[in-house]
Amino acid sequence: MASHPSSNLAAGFLGRRCLVTGGAGFIGSNLTRALLGGGAQVTVVDNLSTGLRENLPDHANLALVEADLTTWPGLAGRSASSDYVFHLAAQVGNVKSITLTEEDAATNVLGSVRLLKSCCGTGVKRVVYSSSSAIFGEAERIPIDEDHPQSPASFYALSKMTGEKYALLAASLWDVPTVCLRYFNVYGLPMQDNEYTGVISIFSNRLAADEPLVIYGDGEQFRDFVSVRDVVQANLRAALFGRPGRTYNVGSGEPTSIRQLACVMSEIAGRPTRIVHRDFRAGEVRRSLAEIARASAELGYAPEVVLRQGLTALMEPVPGQC
């Protein structure tokens, strides 16, 4: 398909009514700001368990509803009056899900099902479901394409896979125009600040406190780190151009080992690389790298932020050595 410049994407939502679940969170707040910048009318639904009011701007076209998708009585009415629905509300964390398994399933599965059902028989043009690369488990082949076998290694991964399958079936059984995006390792601002956030946030916080960087395992495990700016781009493209019942990987298409990441971030921070190794954690994969050809061909998606550029934007750039 023809490429559409990312800077013009948000303009496609001018005057449109958009519902963003989890919109006060990391990715959701970035998406909300982009939609508002394009002239959309946005309703954010967030229970604020991890999302923050201060992540959202004071804007005439923004309404924040503090509610849980599993119990909010206004969900059906709001969905019916929306043109586009972006579903980002979730309990996130592979390790967290091992102990908070019921909460994980309630939020990620039941909340998703209730949202999808609320869109049935409405005029919603597209529902964009936020899934995760965690559903693949340990990679059998690299890069990981959309048809790669799914073998979740945590309850979080299982819940995201289950929600995704409900979303895809909703497209065929309920005629709900769903598109699923599988995010790889997302980073950016606003920084997340709890123990279950991405390694980039954790490393950044430890460098700021002049603490050593903790690596679980040998550090040779690698990830596909993708800027939240590119994830927002993918959401906008999926809503405008995505094929209902289709899944798309969202990543950078570039591998970075955790040891490399520690080295680069230490260099940007102007600090010597100090690493403490601990045992590899259960539920985490060793290799993860996105094949993004489908998103490129069908959505016009192309990553715009290279990792060092994105990391520098997060940190105070001070000359140093690795």
Distances (CA, A) of 272 to 207, 210, 265: 10, 10, 10
State the residue for tokens 């061909």: 297
Domain 15-184+228-251+290-302 is of which CATH architecture?
3-Layer(aba) Sandwich (3.40)
**Residues 148-163 pLDDT 10s:** 999 998 888 999 999 9
Provide the pLDDT for residue 256: 97
**Residues 22-35 pLDDT 10s:** 999 999 999 999 99
Catalytic positions are: 156
For the chain, the farthest-separated pair of C-alpha atoms sits apart, in whole angstroms, at: 59
Tokens representing 256? 């970075």
**Residues 280-312 pLDDT 10s:** 877 577 899 999 999 999 999 999 999 999 999
User: Where along the chain do its domains lie?
Assistant: 15-184+228-251+290-302
Is the pLDDT at 110 greater than 60, yes or no? Answer: yes
Is the pLDDT at 196 greater than 60, yes or no? Answer: no
